[in-house]
Amino acid sequence: MVVFLKPSLFLYNSVLLGSLPVFVGFAGLEFLDLSNNRLGGAIDLELDGLVGLRSLNLTLNNFTGSVPTRPGKSKVLKELRLTMNMFHGIIPVDIVGCRNLTLIDFSVNNISVPDRIGELSKLEVLILSSNSLSGEIPRSLRNMTSLTRFAANSNNFNGPIPAGIPKHLRNLDLSYNSLSGSIPSELLSPLNLQIVDLSNNRLNGSIPTALSPRLVKLRLGSNSLDYVIPTAAISTLQHLTYLELENNTLTGLISPELGYCQSLALLNLAQNQLSGSLPVELGNLSHLQVLKLQFNKLAGEIPIQIAQMSKLSTLNISWNSLNGSIPPSVASLKNLINMNLQGNNLSGSTPENIGSMTSLMELQLGENQLSGRIPSMPITLQIALNLSSNLFEGHIPVTLAMLTGLEILDLSNNKFSGEIPLALTQLGALTQLILSNNQLSGEIPKFSSWVFVNTSGNEGLTNSATPSTSPESKKKGKPVSLTIVLWAVAAAIFAVGGIAIFLYHY
């Protein structure tokens, strides 16, 4: 697209090819946008004639070489966007001479940053994501008193987070680096701070208790943070929407005070060492859409108040030590798509009204002590139905054949008996049927070639291709074909080998 609005030239998304032309006669040009084209090569003197340039956008091209030293020799340049190119080497020190710069976006290149970057005292936005930045974060950043957004995620920064991060900061993203040490006590406290992402680093120590009252998103997952969650401070954050503290070594209880964070849409405390019971006050989180508490040490029963989370779409409290029965009230969660209760000590029967969960696509109930009749399941199930390693017995219910969109059905390690329902062969979306280690008998129905069927550990089952071994056939002594021998050998190897190709996600 070509747009010329004096003193602006917009040639973004115009399928331009080749190298950058020399701009002659454009001394009055203030805004130049060449983004989303196929321009390439190094940039040398091509921009020197743009002495009045205020904004340059070269995003999404194939430029190489070093970053242009003084774009247009302009002393009024305010915005410089070079995102998603192939620039490399250190950011030229001459860039520091552009003292009017308020925005720099050098993300997705292969560059490194000079220590003097902090001399750009008017800079408001600095984006350095997805480069080859290494070493420590420049301490000169503290001099950028106007900085409101700093993103340096997906780099190779190491060492501690420097103290003195600018007080006007609103958005801080240092995720996916190798930062270590503790989180500076004042880092999360600037009054304007709204978004913080320090996930996927090597940070340790406790979570600071001084938190900005305007925090909307706090992501500290996949570090080595310990001690307890500072719930007293977090509970005062009325704007907090995302709280992600997963994959740390946090201890203590899930405090009832979390129920005061009524703006929460996502709460992820998975893979820690949290203990105690699920507080009933979590039911007050009426806006919550995702609740992940898997791989902790939680005990007690699932509170019926969980049904008050009417917007919940993902519920994962697997691999804890929860006991008691599954409350029938969970069936009122009409927006729930994924429910994972696997790996607990839940007992009793599956709620009879579970079939009314009309949005449910995945149900994981394996590794519990559930028993009784298997009720009609939601016909919306698609990803997986896992009832493995429980105490179910009797015939496999033919109603499972109504789950026409289901891809994975796991009924292994129970006490199911009788024949495999022929109707299961009509499940057109099925890719895995796992029936191993039950008490099934009869002939194994013929499933489509793309369906992996595991029936090992059922002594009473026979394959439809297995030849008859009746006394009459032995007496006649008819020769056995090579095909039948190979089928029998394969079946024997399969029964002894017992392979498993499916890993459930949590």
Question: Per residue in 326-370, pLDDT tens?
Answer: 999 999 999 999 999 999 999 999 999 999 999 999 999 999 999
Q: Return d(Cα 176, Cα 403) in angstroms, integer.
A: 40
Structure tokens at 228: 């307890």
DSSP state of 447: P
Residue 403 exposed, middle or buried by CB count within 10 Å (0-12, 13-18, 19+): buried
Position 18: which residue type?
G
> Given the structure tokens 């340790």, which residue do they identify?
204
> Given the structure tokens 């024949």, which residue do they identify?
419
Q: Return d(Cα 151, Cα 173) in angstroms, integer.
A: 5
94 — phi, psi (to 5°)?
-60, -25
Structure tokens at 254: 């899930």
Q: Return d(Cα 83, Cα 200) in angstroms, integer.
A: 23
Structure tokens at 136: 């420590």
Lowest mean pLDDT among 115-129, 239-253, 281-295, 350-364: 115-129
Q: Return d(Cα 170, Cα 37) in angstroms, integer.
A: 32
Q: SS3 of 199, please?
A: coil
Q: Return d(Cα 99, Cα 368) in angstroms, integer.
A: 64
For the chain, the domains span 234-310, 323-462
pLDDT for 363 = 98
482 — phi, psi (to 5°)?
-60, -35
Q: Return d(Cα 150, Cα 105) in angstroms, integer.
A: 10
Fold annotation for 234-310: 3.80.10
Which residues, in sequence order, are bridge partners of residue 225? 205
**220-279 pLDDT per residue, tens:** 999 999 999 999 999 999 999 999 999 999 999 999 999 999 999 999 999 999 999 999
**pLDDT tops 90 at residue 448:** yes
The dihedral over CA atoms of 126, 129, 134, 138, expressed in degrees to the nearest 10, equals: 20
**416-446 pLDDT per residue, tens:** 999 999 999 999 999 999 999 999 999 999 9
Provide the mean pLDDT of the chain.
Answer: 89
**pLDDT tops 70 at residue 89:** yes
Position 357: which residue type?
M
Residue % of the chain over a pLDDT of 90: 77
**151-192 pLDDT per residue, tens:** 999 999 999 999 888 889 999 999 999 999 999 999 999 999
**pLDDT tops 90 at residue 409:** yes
The pTM for the full model equals 0.88
**477-488 pLDDT per residue, tens:** 333 332 332 233
Decide: 142 and 164 in contact? Cβ < 8 Å: yes
Q: What is the average per-residue pLDDT within 389-394? A: 97
Q: How many residues does the chain have?
A: 506
**pLDDT tops 60 at residue 505:** no
The dihedral over CA atoms of 267, 270, 274, 280, expressed in degrees to the nearest 10, equals: 40
Residue 65 exposed, middle or buried by CB count within 10 Å (0-12, 13-18, 19+): middle
Q: How confident is the model at residue 72 (pLDDT cuts 50, 70, 90)?
A: low
Which residues, in sequence order, are bridge partners of residue 195? 171, 217
pLDDT for 98 = 85
Q: Is it true that the peptide bond before 7 is cis, omega within 30 degrees of 0? A: yes
Q: How confident is the model at residue 71 (pLDDT cuts 50, 70, 90)?
A: confident
Lowest mean pLDDT among 93-97, 122-126, 275-279, 301-305: 93-97
pLDDT for 6 = 56
* Closest of 141, 153, 197 to residue 177, by C-alpha: 153
pLDDT for 88 = 93
Q: What is the average per-residue pLDDT within 16-44? A: 92
Decide: 281 and 306 in contact? Cβ < 8 Å: no
Which residues, in sequence order, are bridge partners of residue 315? 291, 339
Enclosing H/E stretch for 308: none
The DSSP bridge pattern shows strands 88-90 and 62-64 to be unpaired
pLDDT for 114 = 85
- What is the rounded end-to-end Cα distance, in angstroms, of the chain? 45
Could you tell me which residue, 175 or 44, shows the higher pLDDT?
175
DSSP state of 31: E
- The top-level CATH class assigned to 323-462 is alpha beta
| 234-310 against 323-462: fold identical | yes
pLDDT for 331 = 96
Q: What is the average per-residue pLDDT within 208-230? A: 97
Q: SS3 of 318, please?
A: coil
pLDDT for 439 = 97
